[in-house]
Amino acid sequence: MTAALTVENLYAGYGKATVIRDLSLTVPEGSTVALLGPNGAGKTSTLGALTGMVKVTSGRVRLGRLRLDGLTTYQRAASGLTLIPEGRGIFPGLTVSENLTLAADSARGVDRAWRTRQMRRVEEMFPALGGRSRQRAGTLSGGEQQMLAVSRAFLAHPRVLMMDEISAGLAPLIVEQLYKAVEELKNDGVTIVLVEQYVTYALKLADICYVLGRGSVRFVGEPAELRAGGAGFSYL
């Protein structure tokens, strides 16, 4: 197994408060890993520590063989570590089309034909965005903004795509559309780290689940083990 992302003994936090403690996880190339756990468990902070937004006090993070420690958030993103953050995975002041173009411009090792093909795929996937290319992204509905955020992931060709609760506050039909798109990304072979409260989708897509609690890993296993309730996590 080749690891796309490796986290070893990570400690991270805000100011003097350590909120991630001794967290280790491995995301195999091409797999989907779900990070689950109750409110405040440390899911968002973990993603923040990986992108360089949250201060890491010790531990190691690698993207493939590249050590990320010491790299800036920008350098990590440029290496292919992409995050769709909770609620704001787009540039609200730019148009829909500019948002997509910027994502496509950040893609590494792709040609024009690939870009055109991906553009066509997202148009088909999210007809709600059709004809809106010159609209400012910030004026789209919440669901449409999230569709745009996921569309950007199709164009950015990420090495590892991390998503933080893309379903939050959205209607079930929209969540279903978003997750159909995520499933396509998975089938394309994209390595995915999924943080989700909507565990139904997370358990359906994930190959491996990490359950966090108080900033540490409480359980690692396949979705079936969690569904069976063997781990005894009441929030599921």
> Contact residues for Mg ion (CB under 5 A)?
43-44
Q: Is 85 in the site for ligand ATP (CB under 6 A)?
A: no
Q: Are the C-beta atoms of 223 and 210 separated by less than 8 Å?
A: no
> Quick one: 49 or 125, whose CB is closer to ligand ATP?
49
Chosen from ligand ATP, Mg ion, none, partner binding at 45 (C-beta under 5 to 8 Å by type) = ligand ATP
Q: Which does 169 bind (CB under 5 to 8 A by kind): Mg ion, ligand ATP, none?
A: none
Per DSSP, the residues of 8-72 read EEEEEEETTEEEEEEEEEEEETT-EEEEE-STTSSHHHHHHHHHTSSEEEEEEEEETTEE-TT--
DSSP state of 95: B
| Piece in contact with ligand ATP (CB under 6 A), picked from 34-42, 98-106, 153-161, 176-184 | 34-42
171 token code pair: 């209607």
Smallest distance from the beta carbon of 63 to Mg ion, in angstroms? 22
Span interacting with ligand ATP, options 36-44, 58-66, 74-82, 139-147, rule CB under 6 A: 36-44
> For residue 15, which phi and psi values (nearest 5 degrees)?
55, -125
Rule CB under 6 A: say whether 39 interacts with ligand ATP.
yes
Q: Which of 6, 31, 36, 43 binds ligand ATP (CB under 6 A)?
A: 43
Q: Which of residues 44-63 bind ligand ATP (CB under 6 A)?
A: 44-45
Q: Which residues of 145-171 are buried (b: 16+ CB within 10 A; e: fewer)?
A: bbbbbbbbbbbbbbbbbbbbbbbeebe
Residue 155 Cβ, how far from Mg ion at the closest point, in Å? 25
Q: Which is nearer to ligand ATP, 100 or 163 (CB)?
A: 163
Query: What minimum distance in Å lies between the beta carbon of 106 and ligand ATP?
Result: 25
**Would you say 13 or 80 has its CB closer to ligand ATP?**
13
19 binds ligand ATP (CB under 6 A): yes
36 binds ligand ATP (CB under 6 A): no
The b/e string for 111-120 (b: 16+ C-beta within 10 A; e otherwise) is: eeeebeebbe
**CA 105, CA 100: separation in Å to the nearest integer?**
9
How far is 190 from 196, CA to CA, in rounded Å? 18
Sorted by sequence, the CB contacts under 8 Å of residue 236 that are 6+ apart come out as: 36, 199, 226, 227, 229
Binding residues (CB under 6 A) for ligand ATP: these are 14, 17, 19, 37, 39-45
